[in-house]
Amino acid sequence: RENLARDERGVDPRAYLAQGRDAMARTVTRLIGVLPAPAAGAA
């Protein structure tokens, strides 16, 4: 039981981080597309 609990804790955070990275990449891409070129270049 302890080993299974440890495995779940090890896998879930990785999946959560992967989803977060994908979501952030999509948000950044959307913002860059919406912002004017000078603002996107400064950011």
pLDDT tens-place string over residues 1-43: 566 555 555 567 788 888 889 999 999 988 888 876 665 565 5
Q: Within 13 A of 8's CA, how many CA atoms are on the CB side?
A: 5
Instruction: For residues 37 and 11, give the distance between their C-alpha atoms in angstroms, rounded to a whole number.
Output: 39
Domain ranges of the chain: 2-35
Q: Which residues contact 42 (CB under 8 A, 6 or more apart)?
A: none
- CB-CB contact of 32 with 40 (8 Å): yes
pTM (2 decimals)?
0.44
Amino acid at 23: A
- CB-CB contact of 20 with 12 (8 Å): no
